[in-house]
Amino acid sequence: MSPSNPSASPLLDRMDHPDTLRQLPRPQLRTLADELRAYLLHSVARTGGHLSSNLGTVELTVALHYVFNTPQDRIVWDVGHQTYPHKILTGRRDRMHSLRQYGGLSGFPRRDESEFDAFGTAHSSTSISAALGMALASRIKHEDRYCVAVIGDGAMTAGMAFEAMNNAGVEDCKLLVILNDNDMSISPPVGALNRYLAQLMSGQFYAAAKSVGKSVLKGAPPLFELAKRLEEHAKGMVVPATLFEKFGFNYIGPIDGHDLDSLIPTLENIKQLKGPQFLHVVTKKGQGYKLAEADPVAYHGPGRFDPNVGLVKPATPGKTTFTQVFGQWLCDMAAADERLVGITPAMREGSGMVEFEKRFPQRYFDVGIAEQHAVTFAGGLATEGLKPVVAIYSTFLQRAYDQLIHDVALQNLPVVFALDRAGLVGADGATHAGAYDIAFLRCIPGVSIACPADENECRQLLSTAYAQNHPVAVRYPRGSGAGVAVTSALDGLPFGKGEIRVQGGTIAILAFGTLLYPAIDAAAALGATVVNMRWVKPLDTALLLQVAATHRALVTVEEGATMGGAGSAVLEALQAAGLSVPVLQLGLADAFTEHGDPAHLLKLQGLDAPGILASIRQRFATLCSDLPPAE
């Protein structure tokens, strides 16, 4: 595909609803797919977003909306970052310029955005469960519809997908699971023979012959069992069918997911079959854009770029990110201590572990999209004297809460949780925001929580966490911080201790994490004290009581949910000590935060310096009355 700007898309320009798509003669669908891919490339190049995965689902999306009567038939897209073609074909093309921006289109399916988004998705491996629920609801309500789950092969590493299949296999419902295999990880070569076999196995003749054979041979159990085994092994030699058929699905495929002449007849045949169906399609990430095909990881979620040029490294390197700080610390600590092992649930690049894998391959474990397993696996390693470090996004740790409590905390095992993407994450929105980790971690006995204020403290507190003999989480945000130079040493900071960063009077601001710096700016206009608390648990109670005794009011600031967060911990400690100092809690409101620019989102939450100052002046107007008015 040429990356030249698609100034004219005569077919795509007419596609304001899938009904229009379904009226096209089939030979025109190839042209539509080409126009859609060109439009998609240039749209994402302007806004940034997920690219490789969406280029790979163009033909599959066209085929699904062509064959199925959406939105009457339901399509659930697993993870959902590959739904840009779906959004374009379902009436949202004119809003693609607002993708992942505040007030604009979400980068994931959302029920409140379109009737074609049957289920909100952004985390992995939920599609089969949701689609099964929809299919059984339709059966209960006597409504005739097909429910389709589109799941990537990476998402099949999560246990939830297999739990859903185990449930679905015993149900008589119109459910189709499509495995979008885009890494060639479990597929034999795709070609004419596979296309023929797929259409044959999805056709009425095959289904009827299989049914008749069963009815005839059931009268002779040994022959029936022999025939059943022969069928399984014969299919297993050509396709990886046996596993999925053991779950009760009729396996079809693999077929070329970019070949509309294969996809459409197969889907049409499947619509006529009864019971749960499993279609295996093979697609290529970055399909049609050579640069993305060659490096699908780099083009997985790029920012804005010129599609005629491709991604260009900046002339000058930007600030060091917290993820990079963690990656370097992990390598340095592993070199110093051979007990260290690093674990990631399929987020090697995102968590900064590429270099660690290269240098310490025997101590690197990517367990796939299996957060629950990752945590319990770390617990098992810890029981044998190793020192596991689980690098995981804050939002993904939520998926392993039971394992965190029962398999790590209850046994007091020394696992370090490096919580990337803590706080707001920007364009990915509410599904990826790390808003709740402080609240859900601090109620677990024996778990400690560190909140570094900057890049250097992140490295130091990781070392402190690693030195402990119990579970410790170190939470840090996406991107860079204040730009503080990072030491090369592996020395930690005192466990559970904060510091007074700015000495003032009357009001004291207690900052947890990177909001220390806007707090310092706000305090300058108030003559307030600023305390870098560093630890939510254990809370530096001695320092807190000292500050409470010498100030007339306290303000807590955190980039996390206010309810149950660090400010709540301060209130609990003050109450336990019998002190009644007024406290203003500033943090994330009790609402899901939309996608948008992180700085803008913090401003909307009142967590930038002007917002912090304004909240303090409003809450403690009397104490601030002698101060000059805000500019």
Which of 83, 164, 92 shows the shortest CA–CA distance to 131? 164
| Model pLDDT, residue 589 | 95
Q: What does the DSSP assignment read for 286-320?
A: TTT-HHHHH-TTTTSS--S-BTTTB----SS--PP
214 is catalytic: no
CA distance 344 to 494: 28
CATH number for the 322-475 domain, one of 3.40.50.970, 3.40.1260.10, 3.30.1540.10, 3.30.1120.130?
3.40.50.970
Of 399, 421, 459, 617, the catalytic one is 399
* DSSP element (H, E) containing 568: helix 566-576
> Any catalytic annotation for residue 229?
no
Rounded to the nearest 5 degrees, what angle is found at the Cα of 117, between the Cα atoms of 114 and 120? 115
Average pLDDT over residues 603-623: 95
Highest-pLDDT range among 120-124, 224-228, 489-493: 489-493
**245 catalytic residue (yes or no):** no
CATH number, domain 12-294, options 3.40.50.980, 3.50.50.60, 3.40.50.970, 2.30.30.90: 3.40.50.970
Options 285, 459, 478, 534, the catalytic residue: 285
> What percent of the chain lies above the pLDDT cut of 90?
80
User: 380-404: per-residue pLDDT in tens?
Assistant: 999 999 999 999 999 999 999 999 9
Angstrom distance (rounded) from CA 261 to CA 621: 71
Instruction: Kindly write down the DSSP assignment for every residue of 530-543, as one continuous string.
Output: EEE--EEES--HHH
Domain ranges of the chain: 12-294, 322-475, 499-619
Q: Look at residue 223 in the predicted model and tell me its pLDDT.
A: 54
Answer whether 390's CB lies under 8 Å from 416's CB: yes
Average pLDDT rounded to a whole number, residues 548-571 = 97
> Cα separation of 21 and 29, whole Å?
8
- 371, 455, 558, 559: which one is catalytic? 371
Helix (H, G, I), strand (E, B) or coil at 24: coil
Report pLDDT digits (tens) over 583-601: 999 999 999 999 999 999 9
CA 463 to CA 146: how far, in whole Å?
Answer: 53
- Nearest CA to 477 out of 440, 516, 521 is that of 516
Topology match between the domains 322-475 and 499-619? yes
161 or 8, which is more confident: 161
Give the three-state DSSP class for 593.
coil
Fold of 499-619: Rossmann fold (3.40.50)
